[in-house]
Amino acid sequence: MSANHPIDTLADSRFIRACRRQPTDATPIWLMRQAGRYMPEYRAIREKVSMLEAIRTPELAHAITMQPINAFAMDAAIIFADILTPLIGMGLSLDFVKGEGPAIDNPIRTAADVDALRTPPTAETMPFMTDAIRLCAADLTPRSLPLIGFAGAPFTLASYAIEGGGSRNYQMVKGMIWDAPDVWRRLMEKLVIVISDYLIMQVQAGASALQLFDSWAGVLSPADYAQSVAPYTRQIIANVKSNPQSARVPLIYFSIGTGTLLDQVVALGSDVISIDWHLSLDRAWQYIGSDRAIQGNLDPVLLFSEWPALQANVDRILAEANGRPGHIFNLGHGILPGTPVETVRRLVDYVHEKTLIAQASAER
C-alpha cells in the first residue's frame, strides 16, 4: 500500500473508527444498495444503458456511486458494481434480465465445467473497476468519506454459477457439495484465487474498506457450512489480511440467516460482522464478542412504514448498541426498489442527530 493511500487520510473518519471499535462522535451509517433503483437519478442512467454497461464504464460507475453521497449524509460510499462480475472473467456468460435478475447461460454442472474455468488476474479482466475506484476515491477522500470495495463470497458466487441464477432451494449447488465434493473443492479453490485478487486490487486502487457478501450462506446447515464453505471464506480473509497492501483495511463479512452459524462466522477472521434483523443486535454482540465491530441491522421493509414505526425500531437498535464503540448502522440487507427517498434521508439524519445528542450527554 502506498504511503498516500486514502486509508491513511481517513483513519479518523466515523466509519473507519467504528470498524476499528474506536469512539465516534455519532454512529456512522451507510445502507447496502444505497446506489440503486430507489433513486430517480439512478433510474435515469439505467434507462439509457444496461447494468453491465454501467459497471464497465468507469465514469458511469463513479456517477452512480456518488448519487447517494450527494443526496444524503452517508458516512461511506460503496463502489457501484455487482458481486457476479468476476465470473465473466472466469469464462461464464452473465447477463442481467429485466424483471428476473442475473442469468448465466453456461452454468457450472460438471467436473469439466469447473476445469474449464479460468483464474486470470483482475487487472486483465476488470480494469474498469480500477478506474472507477480511483475516480470515486479521488472524489470522496477530500470529503473524509471512505469508499467500500466488495466481492461475493465463494459459496454465494458458486450458487449463482451452478444454479444459473437465483434459486429457492439450491438443489444443484447442494447436490454438488454432497455428491461431488472433489468437484466442489476445485471450484472453491478457483474462486478463492479470483476473489482474493479482486479484493486486493480494489484496495490498491483506493478502497478504504472491504465487504465480503455471503448472501445465501444461511441456506446451509452448520455442518455443511463448516466443512464445505467456511475454510474457503476464511482463506480469502487470510489472503487479504496477509497482503501488505490490504492488511490495514477493515473487512466486513455480510450474510443473511446465519444466526445459528455465528460461532463459525466469528472464526472467519473479519474485522466487522454484519447481521440481519432475525437476531437482536445486543444478543448478536454477545455471541460475536467485544473484540469485533458489528454492522446492522434494520429490516429494509421498515423503510416503507410510517415514521413512528421506523423511529421506534431505530431507537431499539441504538439502545441495543448502548453507545458501545464499533457499531455501524445499516440495513440487514439492501434497500428495496420503491423505497421512498425522503424516508432514507430522514433515517440517515435521525441516526446522526440522536447519537450526537447521546454522545454529548455522555461527555457532560
Across 105-152, where does the E strand assignment appear?
147-152
Cα distances (angstroms) measured from residue 239 to each of 112, 151, 270: 27, 14, 12
Residue 361 has pLDDT above 80, yes or no: no
Q: Where are the alpha helices (DSSP H) in the chain?
A: 6-9, 14-19, 40-46, 51-56, 58-71, 86-89, 111-116, 122-125, 127-140, 154-163, 171-179, 181-205, 222-228, 230-242, 262-266, 281-288, 307-321, 341-363
The single residue listed with the C-alpha cell 442512467 is 45
pLDDT range class, residue 3, cuts 50, 70, 90: low
C-alpha span between 92 and 321 (Å, rounded): 42
The conformation of residue 24, written as its DSSP 8-state character, comes to -
Domain contains 77? yes
Residue 2 has pLDDT above 60, yes or no: no
Domain contains 185? yes
Domain contains 304? yes
**Cis status of the peptide bond prior to 239, with omega within 30 of 0:** no
Domain contains 1? no
Segments forming the whole domain that contains residue 315: 6-363
Give the model confidence (pLDDT) of 214-233 as tens digits.
Answer: 999 999 999 999 999 999 99
Give the model confidence (pLDDT) of 318-339 as tens digits.
Answer: 999 999 999 999 999 999 999 9
The single residue listed with the C-alpha cell 453507545 is 323
Mean pLDDT of 87-94: 95
CATH code of residue 299: 3.20.20.210
Which pLDDT does position 101 carry in this prediction? 82
Domain contains 353? yes
Which pLDDT does position 272 carry in this prediction? 98
Residue 352 has pLDDT above 80, yes or no: yes
Pick 118 or 101 by higher pLDDT. Answer: 118
Domain contains 146? yes
Which pLDDT does position 98 carry in this prediction? 78
Residues 6+ apart with CB under 8 A from 64: 35, 42, 45, 54, 80
Report the DSSP beta bridge partners of residue 330: 297
Count CB atoms within 10 A of the CB of residue 306.
Answer: 9
Please report which helix (H) or strand (E) contains residue 115, including its range. Answer: helix 111-116
Domain contains 117? yes
The conformation of residue 27, written as its DSSP 8-state character, comes to -
Domain contains 315? yes
Residue 1 has pLDDT above 60, yes or no: no
Which pLDDT does position 90 carry in this prediction? 97
Burial class of residue 159 in the structure, from the number of CB atoms within 10 Å of its CB (0-12 exposed, 13-18 middle, 19+ buried): buried
Give the model confidence (pLDDT) of 151-164 as tens digits.
Answer: 999 999 999 999 99
Q: Which residues are catalytic?
A: 33, 37, 46, 82, 160
Total domains in the chain come to: 1
The conformation of residue 126, written as its DSSP 8-state character, comes to -
C-alpha span between 271 and 251 (Å, rounded): 5
Which pLDDT does position 157 carry in this prediction? 96
C-alpha span between 251 and 262 (Å, rounded): 16
